[in-house]
C-alpha cells in the first residue's frame, strides 16, 4: 500500500478513498461492467435499434424545423399583443417569447413519431386564459400546417395539443413577472417563480425537472439508453400512462435516474436488470427522491406528509428534484400500483433468466395480453358527430378515466380490483367517429368474500358518467356508453388481426400471481362434488319446459339512449350482475384467479355487450355451489345443460350454469352496435340545426 511520509520519516497509510455519493444515499454497488455485461449490452442496443426506437436524421431535422417555426409564431404573437395594448414602439420591438423543450425530447430519449413537449415563456401582460387559449389558438387554427388542434384549458397543467407538419406538439404557457423576456432566460433560476400562480409553476417545472435530472445522474449516456429501454418496456406491458393512473415519461425518468445513482458504474444492460431488482423490493409508499427536498423563501407548498395530510395518502410517491418538489405520481391508485408491481416482478424474472442465458431480450418486451388476462371488462364507447369533436371529447373522457378506477375502489372498499388499459381502440365500421377504452375487473386475490357479498357499481358508473357530461365544450353527438363485456364477447376490433386469438394458458399470462384461497378451495373440491353439481344441473335442465320470461323490446326504445338518465329512458335496460366464482384452473395452469359468471335479472341481455349504462351489478358466490346460484334465481339460465357423458371441470360447470343468456352474445353485440350506430346517425342528422341548451343537452334518441 502506498503511503505518505511522516515528519519523522516513517510512512503513514492513506485513508481509504470514499465513494462519491449520488442522491441522498450511498451507492449500492460501484462495480462496473464485466466482459459478459459488455456483450449483453451490445445485444440490448442491437435489439433497440432493430425495434425502431431511434429516429432518422431526416425526422430529427424536421423536428428542428418545427421548433424554429413555432418559436417564430409565438414571438410574432407576443409582438402583436404588445402593439394592440398600446405599448411604445420600443416595447413592441423588444417584446419576446421563448420556446423551451422538456420531457423525452429534452432528455434525449424520444423515438420516431413521439410528441415534443414544449413550453412558451411570455411576459407578464400576456395571460393564459384569453391570450394563449383564444388568440394564439385562433392563429394556429388558421394555419394549414396545424392539424388536430385541441385546447385543454382545465387540465392540471393547461396544455394545447396539435400537430405541426405532422409532428405532435404539446404546448404549455407560463407568464413570468418580466416585461421583456430575454432570449437567454435561465429557467433553472428560482427567480422565474416570483409572483406566478400554481398552474404557471407546474408548467415551468417540466423544464426545470428535466434539467435537474440530467445534472443528478452520474452518466448521462447510460441514463438515456436505460430510460429508452424502460419506456419501451412500459408501453409494451401497458403501464405507461400518467393520465390513466400509471406512470408517465417524467415518472419513469425519475425511477431510472435513481437506479443510476445507486449503480453509478453500471452499463445500460446492468441498469435494466437492477431496475427491476430494486423496485420489486421497494417498500412503497417510501418516496423515490434524487435529492433532498428543498425549502425556499417563496413559500410554495412542497411534498411533505408530515405537514400536508393529503400527501399521506399518496401510494407511490416519486418526488421531482426541482423546487417546489412535488409528487409526480399522485395519479397512482391501489389498483394501478398492484398492476405495476406485478409487472416489475415479471420483468425481474425475465432479467434473471437473461443473466442465466435462459432467455433473450425479446422476452422482456413481449406485449402484455390484456384481453386474455381477465374474464370481465368494462367497455367505454365514445362517439361524436365529427373527427374534431371526437378528438376533444375523447381527451376529456381520457382525462377523467382514472376517476372511474378511484370510484370503484372507494365504493367496493378495494375488494373489486380494476385494471384500466391505457390504449384506445376504434371500430372503423361505425358510420361516425368512435373510440373505446377498456378496464379489466376481478375480485381482490387471496381474500375470501363473505357469502352473498355483492358489489353494486351501478351508482358508481352513473356518477362517473354524470361527471363526464359536465364537459364545458359539449356538442350534440358527443355521447358515452358504459357496458359490461365478458372476455368471450370482446369486440373483434380490439384484436390486432380483427379476430379473437386462442387463449394462452393462464400461467403464461400471469406468472406472478400466487395461488389464492379460492383456488385452494376449488382444487380441494372432490370429484364427487363435481358429479353432484352435474346431476343438479341436469335436474335444472329438466325444468326448462317452463317458458322463460323475456322482456318485450321495442327497437326504438332499445336505441333510445342518452348519457344521463339512461336507465330511466332506455326502457329495456337490464340489471347485470357478475357472479365472482372461485376458478378451478386446469392441471397445466396451477394458478388461481377469480371467475365471473353473468346473469340478468330481467332476461333482457345476458352477454354483457348489449347492456349499456350504469346497470352493472356485481355479486360474489362460492365455488362449485349450485344451491347458492339457485337461491339467486339462476334456474332458468342454464337452458343448454351439461354434457351427460363426462364429468366436466368444476370451473367450467360453474361458468356454464351462470352465463346462459336469454339472448345470444351475437345478438347482444348487435344490439350494442345498433345503439351506437343510431346515436351516430341521429347526431349527424340533428347536428346542423341543433342548438344546445341546459334542457336538451343530453337529448333522447326518440
363-393 in b/e form (b: 16+ CB < 10 A) is ebbeebebbbbbbbbbbbbbbbbeeebbbbb
Q: Own/partner pairs for 666-671, CB < 8 Å, 24+ apart?
A: 667/607, 667/610, 668/489, 668/605, 668/606, 668/607, 668/608, 668/609, 668/610, 668/611, 669/489, 669/491, 669/607, 669/609, 669/610, 670/610, 671/558, 671/605, 671/609, 671/610
The DSSP secondary-structure symbol of 425 reads B
What's the rounded Cα separation, in Å, for the pair 273 and 33? 13
Of the candidates 313, 320, 692, 701, the residue with the CA atom closest to the CA atom of residue 474: 692
Q: How many Cα neighbours within 13 Å face the side chain of 642?
A: 26
Measured distance CA(462)–CA(459) in Å, rounded = 5
Q: Which of 22, 105, 173, 240 is catalytic?
A: 240
Among the listed residues 634, 584, 622, 629, the one whose alpha carbon sits nearest the alpha carbon of residue 449: 622
**3 state DSSP class of 88:** coil
Q: Order the strands of the 376-383 sheet from edge to edge.
A: 416-420, 434-443, 376-383, 479-486
22, 37, 79, 104: which one is catalytic?
104
Indicate which residue of 37, 105, 131, 170 is catalytic: 170
- Look at the block and give the residue holding cell 353432484: 532
With beta carbons less than 8 A apart as the criterion, state whether 683 and 622 touch: no
105 noted as active-site residue: no
Whether a cis peptide bond, with omega within 30° of 0, leads into 310 is no
Cβ neighbours of residue 594 under 8 Å, at least 6 residues apart? 375, 442, 443, 445, 518, 580, 581, 582, 583
DSSP state of 135: I
d(Cα 136, Cα 243) in Å, to the nearest integer?
A: 26
Give the active site residue among 54, 62, 94, 115: 115
C-alpha cell at 226: 436505460
**Residue recorded with cell 435462459:** 358
438, with CB counted inside 10 A (0-12, 13-18, 19+), is buried
Q: Is 535 left (phi over 0), alpha (psi -120 to 50) or beta?
A: alpha
Task: State yes or no: is 646 an active-site residue.
Answer: no
DSSP secondary-structure letter at 247?
Answer: B
* Distance from C-alpha of 164 to C-alpha of 556, rounded to nearest angstrom: 44
**Choosing from 161, 231, 430, 534, which is the catalytic residue?**
231
For CA atoms 164, 167, 168, 172, the dihedral sign is: negative
Annotation says 197 is catalytic: no
**Residues in Cβ contact with 255 at an 8 Å cutoff, skipping those fewer than 6 apart:** 230, 247, 275, 279, 288, 318
Q: Other CB atoms closer than 10 Å to residue 693's CB: what's the count?
A: 7
Radius of gyration of the chain (CA): 29
Strand partners, 120: 99, 173
Cα separations (Å) of 396 from 4, 262, 391, 495? 70, 39, 9, 25
Kind plus residue range of the DSSP H or E element containing 346:
helix 334-355
Has 240 been annotated as catalytic? yes
At 229, which helix (H) or strand (E)?
A: helix 220-236
The active-site residue out of 117, 311, 411, 593 is: 117
Query: Among the residues of 524-593, which ranges form H helices?
Result: 527-542, 555-559, 566-569
* Tally of CA atoms within 13 A in the half-sphere of 15 that contains its CB: 2
Q: Which residues are identified as catalytic?
A: 104, 115, 117, 170, 231, 240
Amino acid at each position: 500500500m502506498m503511503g505518505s511520509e511522516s515528519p519523522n520519516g516513517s510512512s503513514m497509510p492513506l485513508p481509504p478513498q470514499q465513494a462519491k455519493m449520488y442522491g441522498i444515499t450511498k451507492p449500492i454497488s460501484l462495480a462496473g461492467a464485466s466482459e459478459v455485461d459488455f456483450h449483453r449490452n451490445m445485444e440490448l442496443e442491437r435489439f433497440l435499434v432493430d425495434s425502431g426506437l431511434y429516429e432518422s436524421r431526416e425526422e430529427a431535422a424536421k423536428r428542428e424545423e418545427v421548433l424554429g417555426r413555432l418559436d417564430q409564431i409565438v414571438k410574432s404573437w407576443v409582438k402583436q399583443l404588445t402593439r394592440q395594448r398600446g405599448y411604445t414602439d420600443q416595447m413592441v420591438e423588444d417584446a419576446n417569447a421563448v420556446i423551451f423543450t422538456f420531457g423525452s425530447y429534452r432528455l434525449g430519449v424520444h423515438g420516431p413519431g413521439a410528441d415534443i413537449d414544449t413550453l412558451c415563456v411570455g411576459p407578464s401582460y400576456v395571460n393564459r386564459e384569453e391570450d394563449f387559449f383564444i388568440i394564439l389558438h385562433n392563429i394556429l387554427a388558421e394555419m394549414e400546417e396545424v392539424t388536430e388542434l385541441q385546447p385543454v384549458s382545465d387540465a392540471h397543467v393547461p396544455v394545447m395539443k396539435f400537430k405541426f407538419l405532422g409532428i405532435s406538439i404539446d404546448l404549455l404557457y407560463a407568464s413570468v413577472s418580466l416585461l421583456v423576456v430575454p432570449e437567454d432566460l435561465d429557467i433553472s433560476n428560482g427567480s422565474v417563480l416570483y409572483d406566478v400562480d400554481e398552474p404557471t409553476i407546474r408548467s415551468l417545472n417540466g423544464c426545470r425537472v428535466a434539467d435537474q435530472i440530467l445534472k443528478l445522474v452520474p452518466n448521462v449516456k447510460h441514463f438515456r439508453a436505460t430510460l429508452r429501454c424502460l419506456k419501451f418496456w412500459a408501453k409494451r406491458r401497458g403501464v405507461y400512462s400518467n393520465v390513466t393512473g400509471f406512470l408517465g415519461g417524467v415518472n419513469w425518468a425519475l425511477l431510472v435516474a435513481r437506479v443510476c445513482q445507486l449503480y453509478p458504474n453500471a452499463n445500460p444492460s446492468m441498469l435494466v436488470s437492477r431496475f427491476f431488482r430494486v423496485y420489486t423490493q421497494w417498500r412503497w409508499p417510501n418516496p423515490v427522491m434524487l435529492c433532498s427536498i428543498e425549502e425556499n423563501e417563496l413559500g410554495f407548498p412542497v411534498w411533505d406528509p408530515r405537514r400536508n395530510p393529503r400527501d399521506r395518502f399518496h401510494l407511490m410517491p416519486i418526488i421531482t428534484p426541482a423546487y417546489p418538489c412535488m409528487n409526480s405520481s399522485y395519479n397512482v391508485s391501489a389498483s394501478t400500483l398492484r398492476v405495476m408491481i406485478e409487472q416489475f416482478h415479471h420483468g425481474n424474472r425475465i432479467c434473471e433468466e437473461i443473466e442465466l442465458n435462459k432467455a433473450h431480450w425479446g422476452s422482456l418486451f413481449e406485449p402484455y395480453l390484456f384481453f386474455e388476462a381477465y374474464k370481465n371488462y368494462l367497455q367505454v364507447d365514445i362517439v361524436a358527430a365529427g373527427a374534431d369533436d371526437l378528438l376533444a371529447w375523447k381527451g376529456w373522457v381520457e382525462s377523467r378515466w382514472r376517476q372511474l378506477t378511484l370510484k370503484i375502489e372507494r365504493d367496493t372498499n378495494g375488494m373489486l380490483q380494476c385494471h384500466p388499459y391505457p390504449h384506445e381502440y376504434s371500430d372503423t365500421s361505425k358510420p361516425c367517429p368512435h373510440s373505446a377504452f377498456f378496464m379489466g375487473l376481478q375480485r381482490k386475490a387471496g381474500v375470501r368474500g363473505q357469502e352473498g357479498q355483492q358489489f353494486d357499481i351501478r351508482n358508481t358508473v352513473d356518477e362517473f358518467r354524470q361527471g363526464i357530461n359536465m364537459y364545458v365544450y359539449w356538442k350534440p353527438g358527443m355521447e358515452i356508453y358504459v357496458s359490461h363485456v365478458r372476455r368471450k364477447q370482446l369486440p373483434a376490433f380490439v384484436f390486432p388481426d380483427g379476430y379473437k386469438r386462442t387463449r394462452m394458458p393462464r400461467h403464461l399470462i400471469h406468472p406472478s400471481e400466487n395461488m389464492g384461497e379460492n383456488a385452494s378451495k376449488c382444487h380441494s373440491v372432490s370429484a364427487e362434488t363435481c358429479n353432484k353439481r352435474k346431476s343438479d344441473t341436469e335436474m335444472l335442465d329438466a325444468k326448462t319446459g317452463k317458458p322463460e320470461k323475456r322482456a318485450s323490446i321495442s327497437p326504438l326504445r332499445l336505441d333510445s339512449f342518452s348519457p344521463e338518465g339512461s336507465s330511466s329512458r332506455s326502457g329495456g335496460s337490464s340489471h347485470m350482475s357478475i357472479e365472482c366464482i372461485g376458478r378451478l384452473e386446469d392441471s397445466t395452469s396451477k394458478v388461481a384467479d377469480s371467475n365471473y359468471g353473468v346473469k340478468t335479472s330481467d332476461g333482457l341481455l345476458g352477454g354483457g355487450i348489449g347492456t349499456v349504462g350504469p346497470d352493472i351489478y356485481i355479486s360474489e358466490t362460492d365455488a362449485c355451489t349450485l344451491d347458492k346460484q339457485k337461491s339467486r334465481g339462476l334456474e332458468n339460465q342454464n337452458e343448454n345443460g351439461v354434457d351427460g357423458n363426462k364429468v366436466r371441470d368444476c370451473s367450467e360447470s360453474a361458468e356454464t350454469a351462470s352465463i346462459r343468456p336469454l339472448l345470444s352474445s351475437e345478438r347482444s353485440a348487435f344490439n350494442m352496435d345498433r345503439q351506437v350506430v343510431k346515436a351516430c346517425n341521429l347526431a349527424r342528422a340533428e347536428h346542423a340545426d341543433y342548438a344546445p341548451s341546459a334542457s336538451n343537452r343530453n337529448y333522447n334518441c326518440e
